[in-house]
Amino acid sequence: MKNIKKFWPYLKGSKGLALISLICASISTLAKLAIPYVAGLAINVLTEALAKGVTSVDISAYLIIIACCCVVGALFRYLFDFSTAVLGQRVIKNMRKMVFASYNDAPISYIDKNQQGNLVLRLVNDVENVQNGLVSGFAAFYDGAIAIVITIIFMFMINWVLGLIVIGLTPVSIFTSRAISKFNAKHFKSQAKAAGEMTGFALESLNNSETVQTLGIKEGREKEFDEFNKRYRDNIFKANMGASTINPSTRLVNAIINACLVTVGSILIIKHANIGIYFAVGNLSAFLTYAANYMQPFNEISDVIAEIDYAFASFHRIDEAINAPKDINEGEKIICNEIDDLSAKNITFSYDGKRDIIKDFSLDIYKGHRIALVGPTGCGKTTLINLLLRFYDPQKGAFYANQVSTQDLEKIAFRSHIGMVLQETWIFDGTIYENIAYAKPDATLEEVRKAAEKAQALGFIERLPDGFETRVSDSSGLSIGEKQLLCVARVMLLEPEIVILDEATSNIDIRTEALLSKSFAALMEGKTSLVVAHRISTIVNSDLIVVLKDGEIIEQGNHQELMEKKGFYYSLFNAQFN
């Protein structure tokens, strides 16, 4: 019941359709189950007439009623199946939308901590499992429950003694299937978890196949995959083994119940005159039909219980994703004007709460200045950028924009003042124009062309078969440098007040880097810029170079000043050029 309550909100906008579906199921089942009762009455009329020697009996009225029941039952069954199919598609559409929205709303820390393959599995496979198991399964479950209730009513109308026998033996079938399904639930949950782990590992290997091949660790990865695969297989085996015992067990119990009904029913027919309970051949025929129909829903329910258990395991994973922690505080204040002042005050940050990545960091970033962050790998350069953009929040201190803590600012509005070029390129499946204008979809072709020209990307774009209308993707054959140029053009089109370059030229050749230097200079003129770089050559003209080590500022100044100090920066510069 608790699981069903959790599922109810996902029917938002479809509850009316769900009610219509249930009404159609009820009418269809009632029409279908009325047929044996009417047929039993017709058989009684015939047997009584034969017993009296009457050779001609009119049962056309009964036949007409049976025909009407068939038509009504078939029509409403079609409406039930159709409405259930539409309901299922609406539910999975809502779920996928909610899962994807939750991923976009989740903090970067949540995405970092979960394997991408596992997240994708919840969005695709787990949602499909919910549709197949919960939506379709619950439709079958409800259809069966309605059939059971209506069948019980008809059985008691025919003979209350046999009805009590059926009701009295029913719990044996229910408890049998319930005990087995309860045992299976934990295995289906383990199966879903193992599937996510295996998919995540496979995706991780495929995304890094070049590294795997280069390092010659293919056999090791295959061995690790075999372990995930074996764990997944074992969980499937246990779950399916338990599920396969439900149906035979309930059918055995049902066969025993039928044997009891035939025995008692025969006795009632033979001795009904002595015991004062009217019971004829037609009644027994109708009752046995109802008994078979009564047991059939239990068999169908037992068949879908395994699917429902598996679907609930997937549903819990989906519900967990949808209810994942939301991104850090949005804030309420909005900066309408330009950001004239940006500073960091006493920032301390740790990813795990054990080791501080940033330690008491303070820095004044003046408008129009180019600030470079340099230092060895792991010193906290990219972490500072993540904190500025509020992908994470520091444990102490904060960034301030126009003397207001960024944690008090509305996040999306604050980020609209910032443009960022990363080391990793993101080119989606679309035209060159669409990729550059992605953050400004109303941009004209001329605006996009100018942005590409500033980014030194116009030359290679015009050499493409269809120019700006050429379709590209992350694996379309563009070089890493060309993809990076498109990303730079994307930012140039926005012309933000604050520009962040996080290793933006690390994947570009020296010639392209030289071209980009001019465009970056034009882009950053009059703007505040933060440059994270390993190549010292890209930041020698910065107004301020901040040297980091172990999360702390150990040196700062312009290039000339730092070279004269002959400290850590001096050694970094000489290591690259000597």
Encode 273-289 in three state secondary structure.
Answer: HHHCCCCCHHHHHHHHH
Strands 356-366 and 341-350: antiparallel
Residues 255 and 354 in one domain: no
Residues 407 and 372 in one domain: yes
Structural domain span for residue 264: 2-322
133 three-state secondary structure? helix
Q: Edge-to-edge strands of the sheet including 418-421?
A: 418-421, 498-502, 528-532, 370-374, 544-549, 552-557
Asked whether 321 and 103 are in contact (CB, 8 A), the reply is yes
Nearest alpha carbon to residue 538 among 556, 522, 517: 517
Nearest alpha carbon to residue 403 among 342, 338, 336: 342
Residues 419 and 479 in one domain: yes
Domain presence at residue 336:
no
Choose one of 264, 289, 322: the last residue of a domain.
322
Give the orientation angle of helix 480-494 with respect to helix 445-454, to 10 degrees. 120
| CATH code of the domain covering residue 164 | 1.20.1560.10
Asked whether 8 and 129 are in contact (CB, 8 A), the reply is no
Nearest alpha carbon to residue 366 among 333, 343, 345: 343
Residues 87 and 175 in one domain: yes
Nearest alpha carbon to residue 128 among 311, 305, 324: 311
Residues sharing a CB contact under 8 Å with residue 457, sequence separation 6 or more, in sequence order: 482, 485, 486, 488, 489
Domain presence at residue 331:
no
Nearest alpha carbon to residue 522 among 568, 475, 482, 488: 488
340 three-state secondary structure? coil
Neighbours of 549 (CB within 10 A): 15
Domain presence at residue 568:
yes
Residues 305 and 364 in one domain: no
Residue 543, φ and ψ in degrees, nearest 5 = -70, -35
Domain presence at residue 394:
yes
Dist. CA 385–CA 373, nearest whole Å: 10
Asked whether 390 and 411 are in contact (CB, 8 A), the reply is yes
Domain presence at residue 329:
no
Residues 298 and 349 in one domain: no
Domain presence at residue 328:
no
336 three-state secondary structure? coil
pLDDT of 186: 67
Residues 388 and 314 in one domain: no
Residues 187 and 312 in one domain: yes
H or E segment to which residue 400 belongs: strand 396-401
pLDDT of 248: 73
Amino acid identity of 471?
R
pTM: 0.65
CA separation, residue 333 to residues 284, 392, 413, 499 (Å)? 78, 19, 9, 22
Domain presence at residue 335:
no
Choose one of 259, 290, 322: the last residue of a domain.
322
Neighbours of 256 (CB within 10 A): 13
Amino acid identity of 344?
A
Residues 360 and 252 in one domain: no
Residues 232 and 90 in one domain: yes
The residue written with tokens 């989740």 in the block is 106
Residues 307 and 444 in one domain: no
Return the HEC string of 367-393.
Answer: CCCEEEEECCCCCCHHHHHHHHCCCCC
475 three-state secondary structure? coil
Residues 174 and 215 in one domain: yes
pLDDT of 214: 61
Total domains present in the chain: 2
Evaluate the CA torsion angle 37, 39, 42, 43 in order and state its sign: negative
Nearest alpha carbon to residue 189 among 133, 124, 246, 139: 133
| CATH code of the domain covering residue 360 | 3.40.50.300
Query: Measured in Å, how far apart are the chain's first and last C-alpha atoms?
Result: 71
Asked whether 192 and 313 are in contact (CB, 8 A), the reply is yes
Structure letter (DSSP) for residue 408:
G
pLDDT of 55: 67
pLDDT of 180: 67
Q: What residues pair up with 283 in beta bridges, in sequence order? A: none
In tens digits, what is the pLDDT along the chain, a chain of 578 residues? 556 677 777 777 777 888 888 899 889 988 988 888 888 888 777 777 776 777 677 788 888 999 999 999 999 999 988 888 888 888 888 888 888 888 888 888 788 778 777 888 888 888 888 877 766 677 777 788 888 888 888 888 887 888 788 787 777 766 766 666 666 666 677 777 777 778 878 877 777 776 666 666 777 778 888 888 888 888 777 777 766 766 677 677 777 777 777 777 777 777 654 555 666 767 777 777 777 777 677 767 766 776 777 788 888 888 888 888 887 767 777 777 788 888 999 999 998 878 899 999 999 988 888 899 988 888 888 889 889 988 888 999 999 998 889 888 888 888 888 888 877 778 888 899 999 998 888 899 999 999 888 888 888 899 988 899 999 887 776 887 788 888 888 888 888 888 888 876 665 666 666 666 766 676 677 788 888 877 777 788 888 999 998 889 999 999 999 999 989 988 888 887 65
Nearest alpha carbon to residue 384 among 158, 546, 198: 546
CA separation, residue 81 to residues 10, 136, 139, 148, 538 (Å)? 20, 9, 9, 19, 65
Choose one of 295, 322, 349: the last residue of a domain.
322
Domain presence at residue 225:
yes
